[in-house]
């Protein structure tokens, strides 16, 4: 199962848990974010490719019908991704993959993968820019996701494994890049999700390290010294722990309480002080709830 499919599976499970009333509120929230051009709005209210990824996946999980022709037209506006960075190239791949039965034009598919391959770093991994000596955990995650979404094999998986091994930050954790060699929950979760489909185990202790990032407030911290937990770190940590087969029964209730504390009117905020719920964090709310489902 691809990374995006695993996220969609968990989100769909959460949507069924919510009950009709809350699921309907969330569906209405996503409908309100859909712009006439076929994209989903960012926090400023403008169509944005990054937020469209979360909008499309959430709508699929919630069973919301989409104006496929408008969405396709929006994606076609990005052409073969010539002006996109690696993050948005990955977003373009995931958006096209979300339009089942309305496939991406072959020329776009090949061009996007060529541009992502141009971000292959000298150490065998992937950076977020071309011609870099070393890759990043996030860069490897984006690249693998794009190849999976386009149903293509990742070239030189051993190089990605070597890159991630260099980013091991001790005690089972991973850093995102060499510039900041400290373990983080998102980077460790990304490494787990990349290595598993490559048939390579993550560092021993990865599950224990992630569990140690659980905060008494209920969620997960991005790094051990973070002052409070956040929804993104919580969702991706829970997804990785599920992937690792870790037992989260001891933290399930406080995690549920934390995630639910960030919800209001069918939408989720990113952390307790966030006053602007959006498409991204609302999807992470679904992901977290789905990973906590028994």
Can you tell me the mean pLDDT for 58-78?
Answer: 95
The CATH number assigned to the domain holding 255 equals 1.50.10.20
pLDDT at 294: 76
pLDDT tens readout for residues 92-108: 999 999 997 778 998 99
| Contact indicator for 140, 103 with CB cutoff of 8 Å | no
Can you tell me the mean pLDDT for 258-285?
Answer: 94
pLDDT at 275: 86
The token duo for 39 is 């994209």
Give the structural domain span for 25.
3-292
pLDDT at 156: 97
Least Cα distance to 214 among 238, 243, 178, 190 occurs for 238
Q: 63-67, 139-143, 156-160: which has the minimum mean pLDDT?
A: 63-67
pTM of the model: 0.96
pLDDT tens readout for residues 33-50: 999 999 999 999 999 999
Q: Residue 19 — pLDDT band, cuts 50, 70, 90? A: confident
Task: Tell me the HSE value of 265 on the side-chain side, using a 13 A CA sphere.
Answer: 9
pLDDT tens readout for residues 188-223: 999 999 999 999 999 999 999 999 999 999 999 999
Higher pLDDT, 103 or 132: 132
Can you tell me the mean pLDDT for 229-247?
Answer: 98
User: How far is 115 from 112, CA to CA, in rounded Å?
Assistant: 5
At residue 275, φ and ψ (nearest 5 deg) are -105, 10
Can you tell me the mean pLDDT for 170-175?
Answer: 97
pLDDT at 102: 72
Overall number of domains in the chain: 1
% of the chain exceeding 90 in pLDDT: 93
In this model, does residue 278 exceed pLDDT 80?
yes
User: How far is 208 from 179, CA to CA, in rounded Å?
Assistant: 25
Compute the Cα dihedral for 213, 254, 279, 103 and give only its sign: positive
Residues 6 or more apart whose Cβ sits within 8 Å of residue 240? 188, 189, 192, 193, 206, 207, 210
């Amino acid at each position: 199962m691809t990374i995006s499919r695993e996220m969609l599976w968990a989100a769909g499970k959460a949507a069924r848990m919510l009950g009709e009333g809350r699921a309907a509120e969330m569906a209405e929230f996503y409908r309100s974010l859909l712009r006439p051009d076929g994209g989903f709005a960012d926090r400023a209210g403008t169509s944005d490719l990054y937020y469209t990824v979360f909008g499309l996946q959430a709508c699929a999980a919630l069973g919301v019908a989409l104006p496929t022709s408008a969405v396709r037209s929006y994606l076609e506006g990005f052409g073969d991704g010539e002006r996109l960075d690696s993050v948005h190239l990955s977003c373009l791949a995931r958006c096209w993959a979300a339009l089942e039965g309305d496939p991406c034009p072959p020329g776009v598919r090949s061009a996007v993968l060529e541009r992502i391959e141009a971000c292959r770093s000298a150490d065998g991994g992937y950076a977020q820019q071309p011609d870099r000596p070393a890759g990043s955990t996030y860069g490897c995650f984006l690249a693998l996701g794009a190849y999976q979404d386009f149903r293509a094999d990742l070239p030189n998986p051993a190089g990605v494994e070597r890159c991630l091994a260099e980013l091991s930050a001790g005690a089972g954790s991973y850093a995102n890049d060499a510039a900041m060699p400290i373990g983080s929950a998102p980077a460790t979760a990304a490494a787990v999700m990349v290595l598993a489909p490559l048939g390579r185990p993550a560092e021993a202790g990865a599950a224990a390290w992630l569990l140690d990032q659980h905060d008494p407030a209920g969620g997960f911290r991005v790094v051990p010294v973070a002052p409070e937990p956040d929804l993104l770190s919580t969702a991706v940590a829970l997804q990785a722990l599920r992937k690792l087969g870790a037992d989260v029964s001891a933290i399930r209730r406080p995690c549920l309480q934390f995630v639910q504390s960030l919800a209001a009117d069918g939408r989720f905020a990113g952390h307790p002080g966030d006053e602007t719920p959006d498409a991204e964090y609302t999807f992470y709310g679904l992901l977290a709830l789905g990973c906590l489902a028994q």
